[in-house]
Structure 1
Amino acid sequence: MSIDPGLEPADDDTRSDDHPTPITVDTGSGPVTGRSAGGVSSFLGIPYAAAPFGDDRFRLPQPVEPWDEPRDATRPGATAPQAPYAGAVGDLLSTVTVPGNEILNVNVWTPTEPSTALRPVMVWIHGGSFVHGSNALDAYDGTAFARDGVVLVSVNYRLGSEGFSVLDDVPLNLGIADQLAALTWVQDEIARFGGDPDNVTVFGESAGGASVATILTHPDAPAVMRRAIIQSGPLEAQTRERAGRISKLMTKDLGVPATRAGFRRVPPEGLVAAQERAMAGGNPLNGGAGFAVATAAPLVPDSPFDALLAGRAAGIPVLIGSTTEEYRLWFVPTGLLPTIKRIHLLAARLKLGIPAATVRTFRRNRPRASTGEILGAMATDILLRVPLNRVADARAAAGADTWVYEFAWRSPVGEDGHGALGAAHAMEIGFVFDHLDSPEAVRMAGPSAPQSLATAMHDAWVAFAKAGDPGWKRWDATRPVRTFDGVDDAVVLAPRDDERAALTP
């Protein structure tokens, strides 16, 4: 890392941390000029692959065209085509749109102070149901990680139709291919930013967590990561047929064939509009049409869940967990929670083959819960908590290092309306990034979220990246779960194990 001689401050310059200093790094593709302030240097919007449009649209990621002059890396790069979150959820979750075609880019935060040793690296893969999100969100600012001696990389990848369509003559899972290309870029380039390519932790939340699980079980995983963190990530991939439901709906809507040529006739914004129509009313809990990782060789030969149960990736330590009340992100802001009646719970139970005794167990443990809260708690466990417990059990049996956490702090946001968000999906992100003053964290957690909890979570993630141990007991037969509740953040043995057992096949 080097300061551009033409931009060095003069001896009598009184620059402070409030006045960033330009700083340039020579990458394998060309020089990039970011900025340094407060002991942290940031480089934004660095392309790791060519723009996936024009002739490269619906193709695997292609190499970047090199450049000679320093590239401005002080502003976020272009974001993948997407629509904002709809309705009340959109009042909580941000959407940033940066125009441009070079959407396959990374942001890097690194300590400015030189080090004799390369530093550990963390690579963040954002969530958003594979249709929302970007590394331009302020919530994903990596300053706190760099402050604590970690090089943080955040990744943009193709979303929605551009990245996860199921078409006759297009490789599946292009968005996952993009993520792997970004991780290859990290291997090739991160040492130039002071990072250690042999000490990379890949982490992500929601669809980002699902992506981490997918990459974790890829044959190349040991070459691109040493450790993995899966936050609220569904572990199941879908069959080609099921993953392709939304593409079929879009072909009917647009009147084009399910081919590369057919979808290329439609501009990106047209595909976004069509996918929004196809997904209307759906969410991760109700099984509506949506984009997903599809099982197909070579990228995803089988479901990550099945591969992890079979012992794959046993040599890669994993930190995995969920929030206690994932469902509340979709049930509370929309006002859906109080509308759920016993007939809806009965229909869901019969559809999923859940015994009545299991429902009684959940009710007994929550004597004051509404019917909607009972259904939501069961949905949370079925979608996330039970699968992650099964994977942790299988990994422990295979001798694989695994740690489990649960985010249990309850946000008061919304308590004057349809109910508090509580420990909802995505609530932990501001705490993990130690960035509670980001606009999204404030909307989700309120202005008085406990800094002590952010410190505890962030420090655990940093410790895992640095030394491979987040600070509590590895998973074993006692089922230890670090429960981040903002009180004592204690390790709880086998929490709600009667509910888990009742839902475990």
Structure 2
Amino acid sequence: MVTTPHGTVRGRYEQGVAVFRGIPYAAPPVGPRRFRPPEPPEPWDGVRDAGAFGPTAPKPPYSEAFAQYLADPAVAGDDCLNLNVWTPEPGPAARLPVLVWLHGGALTRGSSGVPVYDGRTFARDGVVCVSVNYRLGVEGYGLFPDAPPNPGLRDQLAALRWVHETITAFGGDPGNVTLCGQSAGAISTGALIAAPQTQGLIRRAVLQSGPPEASERDRVRRMVRRMATRLKIPATAAAFAAVDRDLLLRTQAEVGRLSSPVLGGPAFGIVVDGDLVPRDPLQALIDGEAARGVDLLMGWTRDEYRLWLVPGGLVEHVNRLGPVALAGAMARCHVGHEVPRGYRALHPDAGTAELVGQMVTDHLLRIPLHRLADARPGSSYLYEFAWPSRLPGLGACHALELGFVFDTADVPESAKLAGEGAPQELCDAMHSAWVRFAATGDPGWQAWDATHPVRIFDDDVPHIAYGPRDTEIDLWSAAPTVPEPSPASDIRAPGAELASAVRRLRRSVGARRR
């Protein structure tokens, strides 16, 4: 049993590790608290059982195409602002390093209860692991005139404050906290380390396949407005709160069907709000205004795009679209013909889907992380996960590294993406690097400098590649930027023909998905 500021919880010992699940760090976001910043939970009397995962945030299920690869358990209930703790040694004497995990899922799906995220392996190796549930979709990231922005990000901040105030009782050191996330969780991590309110709460950060970024407010507003149009209600938080939650989730899933990293389109995201996110997080971090002294471990998978395009047979479809798909990628990345021509010259045997996927990955992910590492040499470490899934077509796709980071590649939910027989040696290498970084700030390889060292995780002997993506990234600095036209732009405006191409691509892919 451990006493928290709100009451005592009883966990379980499992394989020598003490586990506490479903601990509330904020009050249930229902009634007048819906669409509002989180509030402290009501204290409880007696001992609260913490043996099972708590409720997950409301979310639609993955489509059938993605569900075959990604696990996303749902637990019913309103008390979804909860977290889990795995610790080898409860009690204030231990003062162990702490890793706080933020799950991915495009800010619309995912939870802390995915079996791949079992924190037992970190606790086994001397790190207290905390995983967090937070509000998703329109309830976490909708933009309304009558509610504050970014409630889901504010949930994460509340969880960090809970960790700072409480983790000592679980054996953790509040002065040695590593915030770690993948995909949307990494984007959230980037926003939080740049936030003024987290000063003193985070010592280190891990960004897996997600850069610090703020979404355009109009992109989020369009998502809300399209939902409001379908629901025939005003685009206000009050009106959305009156809608049946299941209907709200179905509408959200339908409106977001054409949104993806490759296609763009309206989507939920973190926005600049003048408070928790006072300016673009990436630029704040590059300028050195935020997160001084925070060590960074950042990276990507070699074939991120394959999880975006392989489900549903979209790789073959994009290859058939050929020039239309390339034009769509140019519009998505705001560049002219010079960049795709350069990629084609560097990769003459690649299909259109591979060129489009790698272009978009570089634009959205690798270039921002390069820029951030360049601004913070000596305290930044970069990696590339290059081991290919044993399932056809996936390659080293987005999210594949998760079972290796957590050393859970042997659980069935990891095998859904990796296939059977993932190499344990690679699990050991990657997991131990994350443990070492959480404990010391050094994952075990050369820090970023002018030689651009990148640790490659694959089947080979551990090795460093110097500037493995520099040739492609250099194409962008030499190419002029094509502005994105507004919806009201004249068809002859610069870039309008590319915008028309990406609209045709979205319609074509949407028809394919249906």
Q: Same fold (TM over 0.5)?
A: yes
Letter of the 1:487 counterpart: D
Residues 453 and 465 of structure 2 are in contact (CA less than 8 Å); yes or no, is this contact kept in structure 1? yes
The alpha-carbon deviation at position 279 of structure 1 amounts to: 0.7
Match of 2:32, SS state, is: helix
Counterpart-to-counterpart distance in 2, 1:337 and 1:87: 17
Q: For residues 209-266 of structure 1, what are the alpha-carbon distances to aligned partners after superposition, in whole Å with 9 as ceiling and x for unaligned?
A: 0000000100122321100000011432123222211111111111222222211111
Match of 1:220, SS state, is: helix
Q: 2:302 aligns with which of 291, 313, 324?
A: 324
Counterpart-to-counterpart distance in 1, 2:235 and 2:337: 43
The alpha-carbon deviation at position 339 of structure 1 amounts to: 2.0
Distance 1:504 1:77, change over 3 A: farther
Once the two structures are overlaid, the 10-residue window that deviates more, 106-115 or 385-394, is 106-115
Counterpart-to-counterpart distance in 1, 2:396 and 2:166: 38
Counterpart-to-counterpart distance in 1, 2:229 and 2:336: 39
The alpha-carbon deviation at position 350 of structure 1 amounts to: 4.4
Distance 1:266 1:349, change over 3 A: closer
Letter of the 1:459 counterpart: S
Q: 1:442 aligns with which of 401, 415, 424?
A: 415
Query: Does residue 281 of structure 2 align to residue 301 of structure 1?
Result: no
Percent identity of equivalent pairs: 47
**Number of the residue aligned with 1:5:** none
Q: For residues 182-203 of structure 1, what are the alpha-carbon distances to aligned partners after superposition, in whole Å with 9 as ceiling and x for unaligned?
A: 0000011111100011100000
**Number of the residue aligned with 1:404:** 382
Count, aligned residues:
474
Counterpart-to-counterpart distance in 2, 1:439 and 1:282: 28
Residues 139 and 438 of structure 1 are in contact (CA less than 8 Å); yes or no, is this contact kept in structure 2? yes
**Number of the residue aligned with 1:35:** 12
Letter of the 1:146 counterpart: A
Q: 2:328 aligns with which of 315, 330, 348?
A: 348
Query: Does residue 106 of structure 2 align to residue 129 of structure 1?
Result: yes
Counterpart-to-counterpart distance in 1, 2:180 and 2:100: 6
Counterpart-to-counterpart distance in 2, 1:275 and 1:349: 25
**Number of the residue aligned with 2:511:** none
**Number of the residue aligned with 1:479:** 452
**Number of the residue aligned with 2:503:** none
Match of 1:284, SS state, is: coil
Once the two structures are overlaid, the 10-residue window that deviates more, 168-177 or 236-245, is 236-245
Counterpart-to-counterpart distance in 2, 1:284 and 1:358: 18
**Number of the residue aligned with 2:476:** 503
Match of 1:334, SS state, is: helix
Once the two structures are overlaid, the 10-residue window that deviates more, 336-345 or 129-138, is 336-345
Structure 2 regions of 5+ residues with no counterpart? 479-514
Counterpart-to-counterpart distance in 2, 1:65 and 1:243: 32
Query: Does residue 27 of structure 2 align to residue 54 of structure 1?
Result: no
Query: Does residue 361 of structure 2 align to residue 380 of structure 1?
Result: yes
Letter of the 1:379 counterpart: V
Distance 1:114 1:169, change over 3 A: closer
Counterpart-to-counterpart distance in 2, 1:260 and 1:377: 38
Counterparts in 2 of 1:415-494, with a 5 A limit? 415=392, 420-494=393-467
RMSD: 1.6
Counterpart-to-counterpart distance in 2, 1:496 and 1:147: 35
Counterparts in 2 of 1:333-372, with a 5 A limit? 333-340=311-318, 341-348=321-328, 350-351=330-331, 352-372=333-353
Counterpart-to-counterpart distance in 2, 1:66 and 1:113: 21
The alpha-carbon deviation at position 69 of structure 1 amounts to: 1.6
Q: For residues 141-191 of structure 1, what are the alpha-carbon distances to aligned partners after superposition, in whole Å with 9 as ceiling and x for unaligned?
A: 101000000000000000001111111110000000000000000011111
TM-score, length basis structure 1: 0.91
Residues 92 and 168 of structure 2 are in contact (CA less than 8 Å); yes or no, is this contact kept in structure 1? no
Match of 1:244, SS state, is: helix
Q: For residues 426-454 of structure 1, what are the alpha-carbon distances to aligned partners after superposition, in whole Å with 9 as ceiling and x for unaligned?
A: 01000000001222210111111111111
Counterpart-to-counterpart distance in 1, 2:92 and 2:135: 35
Structure 1 regions of 5+ residues with no counterpart? 1-23
Match of 1:456, SS state, is: helix
The alpha-carbon deviation at position 31 of structure 1 amounts to: 1.1
**Number of the residue aligned with 1:229:** 206
Match of 2:131, SS state, is: strand
Residues 169 and 259 of structure 1 are in contact (CA less than 8 Å); yes or no, is this contact kept in structure 2? yes
Letter of the 2:255 counterpart: A
**Number of the residue aligned with 1:195:** 172
**Number of the residue aligned with 1:394:** 375
Counterpart-to-counterpart distance in 2, 1:477 and 1:408: 23
Once the two structures are overlaid, the 10-residue window that deviates more, 437-446 or 465-474, is 437-446
Letter of the 1:430 counterpart: G
Once the two structures are overlaid, the 10-residue window that deviates more, 267-276 or 458-467, is 267-276
Counterpart-to-counterpart distance in 2, 1:28 and 1:113: 16
The alpha-carbon deviation at position 349 of structure 1 amounts to: 5.2
Match of 2:40, SS state, is: coil
Distance 1:439 1:226, change over 3 A: same
Counterpart-to-counterpart distance in 2, 1:182 and 1:267: 28
The alpha-carbon deviation at position 331 of structure 1 amounts to: 1.1
Residues 218 and 299 of structure 1 are in contact (CA less than 8 Å); yes or no, is this contact kept in structure 2? yes
TM-score, length basis structure 2: 0.89
Match of 1:336, SS state, is: helix
Distance 1:142 1:286, change over 3 A: same
Residues 39 and 112 of structure 1 are in contact (CA less than 8 Å); yes or no, is this contact kept in structure 2? no
The alpha-carbon deviation at position 116 of structure 1 amounts to: 4.4
**Number of the residue aligned with 2:190:** 213
Q: For residues 275-298 of structure 1, what are the alpha-carbon distances to aligned partners after superposition, in whole Å with 9 as ceiling and x for unaligned?
A: 112112321221022110111111
Residues 38 and 154 of structure 2 are in contact (CA less than 8 Å); yes or no, is this contact kept in structure 1? yes
Counterpart-to-counterpart distance in 2, 1:421 and 1:452: 21
Letter of the 1:479 counterpart: H
Letter of the 1:347 counterpart: A
The alpha-carbon deviation at position 114 of structure 1 amounts to: 6.9
Letter of the 1:72 counterpart: D
Residues 385 and 456 of structure 2 are in contact (CA less than 8 Å); yes or no, is this contact kept in structure 1? yes
Match of 1:361, SS state, is: helix
Query: Does residue 255 of structure 2 align to residue 255 of structure 1?
Result: no
Match of 1:321, SS state, is: strand
Letter of the 2:207 counterpart: I
Letter of the 1:342 counterpart: G
Residues 49 and 105 of structure 1 are in contact (CA less than 8 Å); yes or no, is this contact kept in structure 2? yes
